[in-house]
Structure 1
Amino acid sequence: MKRHLLFTVFMTIFISCITAQHKRFDDFFDSSHFKPVKLSSATLSPQRIVWVSTTDKNTISAPDNLLKPFDGQLATNTTDFCTFFKQEDTDTAAVILDFGREIYGNIRIFAPIRSDKKTVRIRVRLGESVSETMSETGGTTADSSATNDHSLRDYILEIPWLGSIETGQSGFRFVRIDLLDKGVKLPLKTVQAICRYRDIPYLGSFHCNDERLNRIWETGAYTVHLNMQEYLWDGIKRDRLVWLGDMHPEVMTITSVFGNNEVITKSLDFARDNTPLPGWMNDMCAYSLWWLIIHRDLYLYSGNYEYLKKQHTYISGLLRQIISHIHNGKEALPTGRFLDWPTARNPNVIHSGLQSLSLISMRAGEQLAIWLEDKKLQKECSDCALNLEKNIPELHDNKQAAALSVLAGYGNVEETALAVIARDGAERFATFYGYYMLEALAAGNCYEQALKIISDYWGAMLDLGATTFWEDLDYSDALKAARIDEVIPAGKYDIHAKGGDHCYKGFRHSFCHGWASGPTAWMSRYVLGAIPIEPGCKTVRISPHLGNLDWVEGTVPTPLGIIKISHKKSSSGKITSRVEAPEGIRVILKK
Structure 2
Amino acid sequence: MYVSAQYCDAVQDGAFDLPQWFNNTTPGRYEAGHEFQRGAFRYLTVIHNSTESISLSNVTVYWAASPEMENPAAYTGYFHCDSEKLNRVWYAGAYTNQLCSADPTTGVSLGAPFAGWYYNYTVSNGSSVLLDGGKRDRVVWPGDIVISGPSIFVSTNSLEPIRNAIDSLFLYQKTDGRLPAAGYPLASLFAWSFTYHCHTLNNVYDYYMFSGDIDYLASLWEQYKLGMNYPLQFIDSSGLANVTSLSDWGRGGMSGHNIEANSILFYTLKNALKLAAVMGDTSESNNWELSAAGIPAAANDLLWDDSVSLYRDNDTITKGSSETSYPQDGNSWAVIAGIANSTRAVAVSDALKARWIRPYGAPAVEANDGDTISPFATGFEIQAHFVASHSDYAIDLMEFMWADYMLDNPNMTNSTFIEGFGHDGTPLYPVYNNDPRVSHAHGWSTAPTSMLTFYAGGLVMTSAAGKTWKVSPALGGLKTVEASYETPLGSFAVSWTNNTYGLSGTFEVPNSTTGEINIPLAIGSKKMILEGPKDTQELQLNGSSAAHVQGLGGGKYTVTIFTS
- Taking structure 1 as the reference length, the TM-score comes to 0.69
CA distance in 2 between counterparts of 1:534 and 1:360 reads 16
122, 133, 143: which one pairs with 2:3? 133
Q: Post-superposition shift, 1:580? A: 2.1
TM-aligned CA distance change 1:471 to 1:264, over 3 Å: same
1:150-229 matches, cutoff 5 A:
154-167=19-32, 168-171=36-39, 172-182=41-51, 184-198=52-66, 199=69, 200=72, 201-229=74-102
Q: Post-superposition shift, 1:314? A: 0.4
CA contact (8 A) 2:247 2:253 kept: no
Larger Rg: 1
What is the aligned partner in structure 2 of residue 489 from structure 1? none
What is the aligned partner in structure 2 of residue 420 from structure 1? 351
CA distance in 1 between counterparts of 2:337 and 2:476 reads 25
TM-aligned CA distance change 1:263 to 1:346, over 3 Å: closer
- Taking structure 2 as the reference length, the TM-score comes to 0.72
Quick check: 144-153 or 404-413, which moved more?
A: 144-153
What is the aligned partner in structure 2 of residue 445 from structure 1? 389
1:275-314 matches, cutoff 5 A:
275-278=173-176, 279-282=178-181, 283=191, 284-314=193-223
CA contact (8 A) 1:550 1:569 kept: yes
The one-letter code sitting in structure 2 at the alignment partner of 1:375 is: T
CA contact (8 A) 1:145 1:505 kept: no
Q: Post-superposition shift, 1:161? A: 1.5
Instruction: Give 5+ residue unaligned stretches, structure 1.
Output: 1-130, 138-143, 478-494
Question: Which has more strand, going by share of residues?
Answer: 1
What is the aligned partner in structure 1 of residue 533 from structure 2? none
Q: Post-superposition shift, 1:346? A: 6.4
CA contact (8 A) 1:403 1:437 kept: yes
CA distance in 1 between counterparts of 2:463 and 2:287 reads 23
CA contact (8 A) 1:217 1:519 kept: yes
What is the aligned partner in structure 2 of residue 470 from structure 1? 418
391, 401, 424: which one pairs with 1:457? 401
Deviations 1:343-393 (A, max 9, x none): 224657x92211211211221222222222221211111000012233213
2:355 is the alignment partner of 1:411: no
CA distance in 2 between counterparts of 1:502 and 1:569 reads 42
CA contact (8 A) 2:172 2:179 kept: no
1:40-119 matches, cutoff 5 A:
none
TM-aligned CA distance change 1:434 to 1:263, over 3 Å: same
Question: Which has more helix, going by share of residues?
Answer: 1
TM-aligned CA distance change 1:231 to 1:194, over 3 Å: same
Query: Aligned residues, how many?
Result: 431
CA contact (8 A) 1:280 1:288 kept: yes
CA contact (8 A) 1:151 1:169 kept: no
Deviations 1:206-239 (A, max 9, x none): 0011101100000001000111113110111111
CA distance in 2 between counterparts of 1:321 and 1:309 reads 19
2:433 is the alignment partner of 1:563: no
- Partner SS, residue 581 of structure 1: strand
TM-aligned CA distance change 1:136 to 1:248, over 3 Å: farther
The one-letter code sitting in structure 1 at the alignment partner of 2:503 is: I
CA distance in 2 between counterparts of 1:457 and 1:285 reads 29
Q: Post-superposition shift, 1:571? A: 1.8
CA contact (8 A) 2:422 2:430 kept: no
CA contact (8 A) 2:10 2:16 kept: no
- Partner SS, residue 283 of structure 2: helix
- Partner SS, residue 493 of structure 2: strand
What is the aligned partner in structure 2 of residue 515 from structure 1? 444
Instruction: Give 5+ residue unaligned stretches, structure 2.
Output: 103-127, 182-190, 304-310, 313-324, 364-372, 520-564
CA distance in 1 between counterparts of 2:199 and 2:385 reads 20
TM-aligned CA distance change 1:380 to 1:153, over 3 Å: farther
Quick check: 521-530 or 151-160, which moved more?
A: 151-160
- Partner SS, residue 222 of structure 1: helix
CA distance in 2 between counterparts of 1:387 and 1:280 reads 24
CA contact (8 A) 2:492 2:510 kept: yes
CA contact (8 A) 1:407 1:440 kept: yes
CA distance in 2 between counterparts of 1:411 and 1:461 reads 30
Deviations 1:253-291 (A, max 9, x none): 111112251111111011101223333322222211001
Q: Post-superposition shift, 1:559? A: 1.4
Quick check: 385-394 or 507-516, which moved more?
A: 385-394
CA distance in 1 between counterparts of 2:430 and 2:507 reads 45
Query: Kindly, what percent of the aligned residue pairs are identical?
Result: 22
The one-letter code sitting in structure 2 at the alignment partner of 1:423 is: A
Quick check: 449-458 or 534-543, which moved more?
A: 534-543
TM-aligned CA distance change 1:345 to 1:317, over 3 Å: closer
1:281-430 matches, cutoff 5 A:
281-282=180-181, 283=191, 284-328=193-237, 329-335=239-245, 337-341=246-250, 343-345=251-253, 347=255, 351-392=258-299, 393=303, 394-395=311-312, 396-412=325-341, 413-425=344-356, 426-428=361-363, 429-430=373-374
TM-aligned CA distance change 1:136 to 1:368, over 3 Å: farther
TM-aligned CA distance change 1:382 to 1:206, over 3 Å: same
TM-aligned CA distance change 1:192 to 1:540, over 3 Å: same
The one-letter code sitting in structure 2 at the alignment partner of 1:538 is: K
